[in-house]
Structure 1
Amino acid sequence: MNIVDTPGTNVILQRQQRLTEEFVPRADLLLFVISADRPLIESEVAFLRYTQQWKKKVVFVLNKSDLYRNSSELEEAMLFIKENTRKLLKTDDVILYPISARSALEAKLSASPDLGKDYTELPVSKSHLKISRFYDLEQFLYSFLDASTTTGMERIRLKLETPIAIAERLLSACETRQPICQAGSNLCNRTD
């Protein structure tokens, strides 16, 4: 497994944006991190539209969820993100994990003597890792990598669909250039 942390969508240098876009066709899963202080900015929406041509599974991670004052504010933000991404991606299957990376890191550091233990075995004082919801995200990722699970089988299906999506995109590009090809060469009309 390789995890690639790309520069993101709201970057100054265009080459950084292209770098991010180049990884999309090769990815099995897009972990799309949204900041709680500015969820779904224009560049993120544009990038999500771009990803749709590759038919990739997108899992949203709402980071800095500890900025919200209470659970009702968090739920309101999650509803906003889910509604907008449903429309944007034209799907009902929007997965969103609200996390606090800071809280998760603090919990992991405080649990360092207990490394190697399953989260369920951690003492109650260290259970705030579960509260940060980072645990739920990790469990999803483990399940996604395990081919014997439903989400693992979905990963394999998505991996096999990638070449098909690329071929469809190339065919579509050729179809729009067909008149040019016909005028210049008979190669575009060959069926063998």
Structure 2
Amino acid sequence: MHLLNDETTNISIRCAIIRGYGLKGNFVYLPLLQKLTSEKQPEEMHNEAVLALAMLGDYPALQELLQLCMQKRLAERHQRQLALRCLALRIDIAELLPLLEDTTLSLEWRIYFVRQLRKRDEKTVISPLLELLHRRVIIREVRAAIADVIGMLADDEVTVHRLVDLLPGSDIANQIHQALWSVCRRAGVTVIASGPDNTQLRVVKRYH
């Protein structure tokens, strides 16, 4: 704590100490970090304290971190990576919609963020992600990354049906086809095309 309060200590060192508190994942640091965010600090230290708190699961800090990302107030690349990874793992998918739609955040970072979602390995994220595929306001490349994540996580027939429903007229049909192949294999079903130009699709059980 002495080094954090010592203004003669290089601010980069103080920021690194704060970040270390979050990376350690030890809740004993929560009161200290909350105190840092409530006091007047240089912006770099305040932002690091918010990030550290968010890594420990502090909900108000997660909300502030989301705003910091959208306002592009995290200067370092490594800092942005940690922030987006933390948000992807800890915050509700519905609350992340502004981040995915926000064009002030670069395409590179929005795709990086979506790809972090696969690390949650939770089936609960699949339905919200499927809803996002309907939103054409989200740029095509981001929706394509979302389809890839669904293909990695889903293993049920319901998801297969929902992906099939998304196919007609989709501008990410290739990614949806790839996701379908993976999910169908795990769900034990297959998609059969019939009718004029094979445009009628139905899902059937696969028997061995």
Is the structural similarity TM-score above 0.5? Answer: no
TM-score by length of 2: 0.26
TM-score by length of 1: 0.28
Higher relative contact order at CA 8 Å, sep ≥6: structure 1 or structure 2?
A: 1
Q: Between Structure 1 and Structure 2, which shows a larger proportion of helix residues?
A: 2
